[in-house]
Amino acid sequence: MTEHSDTAAHVGGGGQQRELTAQLTVPEMDCPSCAQKVDKSLQRVDGVVDAALQPTTGTASITYEPDRASENDLVRAIENAGYEVATVGDDAEGGSGEELGIAPPSEVLTSSRAKKTWLGAAFVMLGLLFEFFLTGQNLTVASVFGYSLHLADGLFLGAVVASGIPVVRSGYYSAKNLSLDIDLLMGTAIIAATGIGYVVEAATLAVLFSIAELLEEYAMDRARNSLRELMELSPDEATVRRNGEEVTVPTDEVDVGETVVVRPGEKIPLDGTVVEGGSAVDESPITGESVPVDKGVSDELYAGSINEAGYLEFEATSPAAESTLSQIIEMVQGAQEKKTEKEQLVDRFAGYYTPTIVVLAILTAVLPPLLISGGATVSFASLSHTFSGSWQTWFIRGLTLLVIACPCAFVISTPVSVVSGITSAAKNGVLIKGGNHLEAMGDVDVIAVDKTGTVTKGELAVTDVVALGDATEEQVLRRAAALEQRSEHPIAEAILAQATDEGSSDLPGIEAFESITGKGIRANVDGETYYAGKPALFEELGFDLSHAHLRADGGAVAEVEHEQCERENCADIENGTIAQYEDEGKTVVLVGTDTELVGVIAIADEMRPAAERAVARLHDLGVAHVVMLTGDNEGTARAIAERVGVDESQAELLPDEKVDAVEALQAEYNGVAMVGDGINDAPALATADVGIAMGAAGTDTALETADIALMGDNIGKLPYLYALSHKANGVIRQNIWSSLGVKALLALGVPLGLVSVALAVVVGDMGMSLGVTGNAMRLSRMEPDRFFDT
């Protein structure tokens, strides 16, 4: 299936050359060597600008100039590499068709290739029966160039034809595209073995390798299933109300602003806002949370969620292609295009490994017979038998080394692990935007977390109002709310909400509003300049917070009096009111002019229930240091830190100071991950080795800026993310070293006559490829601890 997108590139003379991008589905392109073969074929097409090939999804994204090449040219190039394009849409100027984004599922074990393989296997079994058990019935059926051809030989040749021709055909395309890959090596080995009369070995090699290819294709198809499940979450159709009637249309035909109807049990087809009805909605496909969320008028809905029981009507807020789910799918697919450092290292190693083993295979086939026939002797009597033999024996050993030369197992060891890990995370509400971030997260020693919105819910509320001087509590709150009208800070929302609840919705207008970064705000109210912010702001204005005056009617929380003052009701609010509120974990906001303090407002934020358990779990998993970074005051930070159980807290940090804190942690530890809201903490997230955004569902900025996004507001997913990443790193190491170790042992055993062609195929090729794939698929079974759900 294809989809086209237009881009423009500058060309000589200041003009622009239009470019198109074709999305092609190539199901049989399921290994790195396959992709390399396709890439080399595409490189010979005049007009191809770039090609992004994804064996893990069986797709090819090809950018080309339509004036120099057409989509048919691209298809022919892929076919010239020996692969079929599953479905082709219209040409560049025409329609694009639906983007699949992944190869469709295939009936691997019942395909045409499979039937030929099973036929070849039957021939081999019958041949072995006549060759070794029914020797009396193994009659001579023909004579070729003076050699007698027995019934068993005919059956073995039949197996070579049935199972070996597809291998040889693929090897031909490899040679045509100058690709030294497994198809070329195996095809060469089958032809050579047949040519010298070793039909048993040739038939065995053809059948076993064909079975290995089928099983690897089956394993890859299973790995692709996790991606297909993710892509199938959103329905293809939506029920829309148009002209007073309900009509069912494809989701990509629904316009922003249209009313969509969702009945009980149906999936929500697009992102939107509820305009009528109410229901419990299962958002687990997006956020990974297992507990349904109650939705009512004005609440947001996400495509792919499931309407549990009630009736809903909602207004579409984005087209289908731009929904949160579509962004997740797009980013998961894009993540696979970015090769990790380990993957790049393995690719470079494979570039040397295969030619080296091929040279050793040639030397193994040629040198020993020459040395033996030339009179060379082996000094150790115990090895004289091992290193003797005819040139046919050494030729077969050389062919066996050719089988071992295939680097498939360790080349796919990293990408298949990355795909498994990233798709598993996506299904559990964690979006990892690249294998490099998956690896980096598993190696961090320190996790730094922001307080507001991460450790706490970020849902602030006013708890206390203390009036100073001649002001009343109502006046304090009213002045503060007037100042906060233009602020977007959560503290402003809490003060405005409290003022509204107390009947102060008609607030005075303000002028000359100014935000003082990290400290507070300033504006003119009724012709006088007022300030609202942290105690530090008022200290900069020249206030002595240890010497303030309370209202004459008392009611103060401050209990520390200023003994030198002659006025009554004088108090040290710095060590009294402020200290007490901060010790209770509350945030203190002072309100006043540049000459007089009006009052104190205390604001509290509820800690997330899962925060304490999440931090404890991170420690259990081996995270050396968990630190909380916050712009809040020292007292509040200390109180929250003690309740949560973090190892360290740093308070009163401005955005640039959070960056400095992250850099200091990086200097002391090997790796640092930073968890924040993705917007206010953007500099610190960008500085950390891994930036993690909390509550990213529906937040485009967080999705775009963070390396990893926790789609739901659940800090309990953090231990799951670390455990998954840490395990993924372990799986990658296991896959790489086990595949290399097995290959090395087999290579050492070949000259000693300990490894047959069959063993090399079953263990070195098929066994290891299936082994690394199966090991990687273990990551897909990892799930978050459900007791963290809120």
Residues in contact with 125: Cβ distance below 8 Å, sequence separation at least 6, in sequence order: none
Q: If DSSP states are collapsed to H, E and C, what string results for 572-612?
A: CCCCCHHHHHHHCCCEEEEEECCCCEEEEEEEEEEECCCHH
- Coil, strand or helix at 770: helix
> Which residue, chain included where needed, has tokens 């086939």?
365
**For 342-471, where are the E strands, in sequence order?**
430-432, 446-450, 456-467
Residue 232 burial (CB count, 10 A) = 10
Q: Say how far apart CA 209 and CA 183 lie, in whole Å.
A: 10
Between the alpha carbon of residue 678 and those of residues 283, 326, 435, 700, 766, the distances in Å are 21, 20, 20, 10, 44
**Helix (H) / strand (E) containing 772:** helix 768-777
Q: Say how far apart CA 234 and CA 286 lie, in whole Å.
A: 11
Residues in contact with 308: Cβ distance below 8 Å, sequence separation at least 6, in sequence order: 264, 265, 279, 280, 281, 282, 292
| Cβ atoms of 224 and 332 closer than 8 Å | no
- Coil, strand or helix at 298: coil
The overall longest dimension of the chain from CA atoms, in Å, is 128
Q: Say how far apart CA 776 and CA 108 lie, in whole Å.
A: 20
| Cβ atoms of 606 and 458 closer than 8 Å | no
Q: Say how far apart CA 709 and CA 692 lie, in whole Å.
A: 5
> Which residue, chain included where needed, has tokens 């309740």?
643
CA 747 distance to own-chain centroid:
36
Q: Say how far apart CA 473 and CA 499 lie, in whole Å.
A: 11
Q: What single letter denotes the amino acid at residue 398? A: G
| Cβ atoms of 187 and 171 closer than 8 Å | yes
- Coil, strand or helix at 624: coil
Give the long-range contacts of residues 556-559, CB within 8 A, separation 24 or more.
556/466, 557/464, 557/466, 557/581, 558/466
Between the alpha carbon of residue 293 and those of residues 268, 311, 396, the distances in Å are 14, 14, 66
Our CA angle for 306, 103, 321, nearest 5°, is 45
195-207 as b/e: b if 16+ CB within 10 A: eeebbbbbbbbbb
Which residue among 30, 153, 450, 605 is the active-site one?
Answer: 450
Q: Say how far apart CA 170 and CA 555 lie, in whole Å.
A: 88
* Residue 594 annotated as catalytic: no
276-302 as b/e: b if 16+ CB within 10 A: ebebebbbbbbbbbeebbebeeebbbb
Q: How many alpha carbons fall within 13 Å on the CB side of residue 529?
A: 8
Q: If DSSP states are collapsed to H, E and C, what string results for 631-691?
A: CCCHHHHHHHHHHHCCCEEECCCCHHHHHHHHHHHHHHCCCEEEEECCCCCHHHHHHCCEE
Tokens linked to 240? 């829309």
Q: Say how far apart CA 107 and CA 136 lie, in whole Å.
A: 41
Q: What positions carry a catalytic annotation? A: 450
